Structure 1
């Protein structure tokens, strides 16, 4: 009888242990962990902290870039996208570890689910994020570059996970998603360099002395306080039906001075042209519109 009771007890103990083990296994296989108030509070604090860190990093990098030697300004700004990406990735990993059981099977399941969701519901958003990651390595543009994408031209002020912010010459801040690099040509004026070529155009009548105009343009460029004299200065001449087009190609010391530099060149050149009484082209009306 005692032997029988001992046997029953052993079986009951085994069943109890087996049930607890099954419950534990099922708990481990759950993707989402049990939600508690503490976890929610921690999650909110993590998100707020990440947002604060991103703002601090933005202000610190921009502050530092404006106070170091000018030639290092753009290089410092180009660290900003990588720092932002690092903060975002660390934040996502911490949140996933807080709210999910990160076993190998669960990671595969979550990754597959997220991929499918992004593929169908957020196709354009996912495309922009992927393009932003690709852009970090291919570098079609960096913070501080002066680029033209579609109809917009200006300086790249920030490089986010989904888009860049472009400040135009009219002081407008334009947000352009990264996936534009798949379909739009990206024209980069300085590609990380401090200088960017400026092309200033001048128009004259056919009878104008070409050699005199060339000399005046070279003198104007060489005497401008904005000109980077170590870089080439070139005058290109094109003959048009209505007259002669002169293109003065030169570089300012800082790409930010592009339009101030162009204004300075134009003002000083016109003063020199006026002294020599150079004649400008005359546009005639012809059938179908003005002659170009």
Structure 2
């Protein structure tokens, strides 16, 4: 039976590959790479660098053009579902064509496959169709969230307190009032600018783990404009950007935090 390895490769630094990830890469006969177009060729190039360093010399790479997602659609969840189905169509065909019945294929997943990544859902979709059969294994990776904390030399949580991982879309709808440490991913519109009147620090990072890494931290009202400008300039320069940040409420007495909740 075919085997698929879903390998978390960290946030871009080859040094973040785990031993389990390198061992899995040596097992793979075929690597399936999603090509996101010329603007994001860096993402393919970094994967190719990892394969050159850790995969078997006889490995093969199959590039599949990633379908474009309808970002103007009113129904966000439906648009994502449609996009995942298109991905599943293309990857199912690629596996059927390029991976023999006893072969081992691999997906190299940015960060960790369990955190805001579609690969697991796409693989389950392919299996549910029952047109091709394979087993799969997930190898965890170092996420951009962990890399952000390491680069800023901070903990994600404070003693006895939880932290929340959410998206820019949800942050734009509401700033959570029941948690003081909020990690935000997938924020294309700098939702943090809505909360410059709040007593918040921000720890921001872009292209984490790569040679282009950018870090900015400080009191949100003081650095928000700098982050927006830096982010815009970086995106214009490279054609794409991946960034993550932590919003942290400054310490207040528990009674004060409770009083501020609606």
Q: Under a length normalisation based on structure 1, what TM-score does the superposition of the two structures give?
A: 0.24
Q: Higher strand proportion, which one? A: 2
Q: Higher helix proportion, which one? A: 1
